[in-house]
Structure 1
Amino acid sequence: MSVTIKDVAKKANVAPSTVSRVIHNSPAISEKTKRKVRKVLKEMGYHMNENARNLVTKSTKAIGIVMKSSAKESLYNPFFPEVIRGIGDFCNKEGFSLSLTTGETEDAIFEDVVKMVQGRRVDGMIVLYSKKDDRVVPYLLKQGFPFVLIGKPSTNMSGITFIDNDNVQAAMEVTEFVIELGHERIAFLGGSPEFEVISDRLMGFQQAVEQAGLDVPPDYIKLIPLNRNDGIKAIDDLLESKATPTAFLVTDLLLAVLLLGVLAERNIKVPQQVTVVCFNHSEFIEFLSTPLTTVDIHTYQLGYEAAKCVFDLISTPEMMEKNIRIPTKIIKRESHFAVKKEIKRKM
């Protein structure tokens, strides 16, 4: 049988109401009594009945996480486990649990969100993406449900709290870094432009090459769904161009790893023959045969700040929306090289 408040009160020789006040850290109880009761709580293995407490407080003590695609597909991408780690660390401090959407399609994910909201299964939500023509964010706005967006909103920002990097500026800076290495033939390899993060990084890339006076052919820009077959085809097209790129700017770590594999199959050496830089950071980069130069977007911090903001929205519904920018940093490793004049000819 589970231990009750009455059991604890009997052993601690106090009233059950005193035990309840200690559990809720009431200032009306002396520190001496709190220490005594907490010792008994621990010895007896007492655990609060969260369901009963939630019925009283009308709180679920849970945060919903909205994935951009199926959980299986998303969790292959190092970004999502890391951002969820940041969310989870903050929620754990506050005694909140996480509930992830599990739908395999956009419609199924949307239905998951509706069920969470209508069934009051969570107190707030964090949407892990920003996408054009997405139904989730407008729905949450219409319902007046507390939520935070990771990424810049694709529509009117009014009423939306969001956490993001300055992706335009970050892409400009890393492109300028590649240009300073002497590269003129720079390819851009990224995911679907329906996601704001991709379109912003493309914008930053284009602004940097334009300011440098470089002419980037349209076929040097490949925007594709993040899957193996489409990725390989796009990379093959770039490698078979009349003038092969000497550098690749990749918007996603998984896509960059796929690129490294294709280059290895073609016996094209990184960094001796081609530079590869990408966005996002992960510990597994250090285990690659050629550790990648990356733009660290501080994924953990994105998640932690998002959780903090949604907690604030839950606690203070009248709070004004926030816009928090997380800084980025170029981490230089071994996948870039300075171009010699002769490299500018076709490899």
Structure 2
Amino acid sequence: MAVTIKDVAKQANVATSTVSRVISDSPNISDRTKRKVRKVMEEMGYHINLNARVLVQQSTQNIGIVMKDSTIESLHDPFFPVALQGISSYAHKRDFSISITTGETEEAIFRDVEKMVQGKRVDGMIVTYSKENDKVVPYLLKCGIPFVVVGKPVVHTDEIMFVNNDNVQAAKDATEHLIQLGHQEIAIILGDREFEITDSRLKGYREVLESNNIPINDAFIKQSTNMDCIKTILDELLALPVQPTAILGSDDLASLHIMSVLREKNIEVPRDISLISFNNTIVAELMNPTLTSVDTNIFQLGYEAARCIIEEIKERSTHTKSVIIPTKIRKRESTQPYKKVE
């Protein structure tokens, strides 16, 4: 026989209405009572009737996750599994589930979002990127559904809740680290310029070079839209009259490819070229040599995104929230002091 709310209330020695309020996460119930009742629910094997709750509360207890690319591509990028861990961790605490877009193209992903919103399958959305010419964010604004963006919104910044790093400062720190090691010929390989993060990092890179009176060499500024571009980019950099002695990679996965291509050319990191990256994923620790990388606290980005959206779902705010997650350089073997070749 299925365990009922009355059974839980009796075992926990509280009123049935108290159990109902714990299930709905009412702010009028103390955290101590919530923990007590939830413990009893778990011990007795009580499961919430989600269909009934949707009808009563007009809530799905479900968050939609909008991926940057197809699910397969996104999960191959070590950033997204960690971000999803953060989202899932907080969602689980608040008894929320998640639904991920599964489209293989931008248009298919947008259709997934439409289905989630129009079909009332979710209470809110987390958009895991910020880019120009994006259809998703304007659509969510128009619909009025709660949502949060991971990254600084490109448009309607003052109207949109977001969780982000200070990517300008992160790039400044990475570039300054190389300068302190004696490097002045510093190249940067950026990601897709459609994404807000790319322009922010380029800005930080430029500002630090200027503040250190190091001329900006436009030939050192490269853009990679996929891994296949990296070999061509490195061919171009190494063919220059003055070659870079250090490189900023767009992320750890791209930096793995950079190191691999350099090794094929008998160029060793960090002996010949120092290499620093962003995100500090497991890839950075497994590389040989290990990769110096700016820790963007990916798990925390996801965790705070989930916290922001669930708080917004529970009680709509009158002002736009923004959360900035700090970054820190994790120094490893891929960067070393510049040694002039005689």
Q: Same fold (TM over 0.5)?
A: yes
Q: Distance in 1 between matches of 2:95 and 2:48?
A: 12
Q: Indicate yes or no: 2:310 matched with 1:283.
A: no
> After superposition, what is the alpha-carbon deviation per residue over 1:96-115, rounded to whole angstroms, capped at 9, x for unaligned?
00111111111111111111
Equivalent residues of 1:186, 1:216 under 8 A apart: no
Q: Quote the residue 2:70 is aligned against.
A: 70
Contact 2:5-2:19 at 8 Å conserved across structures: no
For the residue of structure 1 that corresponds to 2:157, the secondary structure is: coil
- Residue 56 of structure 2: aligned partner: 56
Cα distance in 2 for partners of 1:228, 1:13 equals 58
| Residue identity in the other structure for 1:222 | K
Question: Alpha-carbon deviation of 1:38?
Answer: 7.2
Using the alignment, how far apart are the partners of 1:74 and 1:37 within structure 2?
35
Aligned to 1:79: 79
Match of 1:259 in 2: 258
Provide closer, same or farther for how the CA distance between residues 258 and 36 of structure 1 changes in structure 2, counting only shifts above 3 A. closer
- One-letter amino acid of the structure 1 residue matched with residue 252 of structure 2: L
- Deviation string for 1:153-211 (max 9, x for gaps)? 11131221111111111111211111121112111101111100011001110111122
SS in 1 for 2:148: strand
Counterpart code for 1:215: P
**TM-fit CA distance, 1:340:** 2.3
Q: Classify 1:90/1:319 alpha carbon distance in 2 versus 1 (closer, same or farther; 3 Å).
A: farther
C-alpha distance in 2 between matches for 1:321 and 1:262: 44
In 1, Cα distance between equivalents of 2:198 and 2:21: 46
1:7-18 to 2 correspondences below 5 Å: 8=7
Q: Which stretch has the larger CA shift, 307-316 or 216-225?
A: 216-225
Q: Which shifted more, 310-319 or 324-333?
A: 310-319
Evaluate the alpha carbon distance shift between residue 147 and residue 7 of structure 1 in structure 2; reply closer, same or farther with a 3 A threshold. closer
Query: Structure 1 residue 325 and structure 2 residue 324: aligned?
Result: yes
| Mapping 1:284-299, distance limit 5 Å | 284-299=283-298
Superposition deviation, residue 46 in structure 1: 3.2
Contact 2:252 2:283 (8 Å CA) reproduced = no
Q: Does 1:116 align with 2:104?
A: no
Q: Is the 8 A contact 2:83 2:298 kept in 1?
A: yes
Residue 275 of structure 1: how far off its partner (Å): 0.2
**One-letter code of the match for 1:115?**
K
Return the offset for 1:228. Answer: 2.4
Secondary structure of residue in 1 paired with 2:228: helix
The TM-score normalised by the length of structure 2 is 0.90
Say if 1:238 and 1:317 are closer, same or farther in 2 by CA, change over 3 A. same
Match of 1:107 in 2: 107
* Aligned amino acid, residue 96 of structure 1: F
Distance 1:62 1:82 in 2: 19
Q: For the structure 1 residues 131 and 42, does the alpha-carbon distance in structure 2 shift closer, same or farther, using more than 3 Å as the test?
A: closer
CA contact (8 A) 1:5 1:19 kept: no
**AA at the equivalent of 2:229:** D
Equivalent residue, structure 2, for 1:237: 236
Listed one character per residue, the Cα deviations across residues 42-90 of structure 1 (whole Å, up to 9, x for unaligned) are: 6663322212222211111011111111111111111111111111100
In structure 2, what is the equivalent of residue 92 of structure 1?
92
Matched residue type, 1:332:
K
May I ask how many residue pairs the two structures share in their alignment? 335
Q: Does the 8 A contact of 1:22 with 1:38 survive in 2?
A: no
Choose 325-334 or 90-99, whichever is displaced more: 325-334
Cα offsets for 1:228-250 (capped at 9, x unmatched): 21222222222232222110011
Counterpart of 1:22? 19
Q: Which runs of 5+ in 1 are unaligned?
A: none
Which string of whole-angstrom CA distances, capped at 9 and with x for unpartnered residues, describes residues 252-295 of structure 1?
11110110111111121111111000110113422211111111
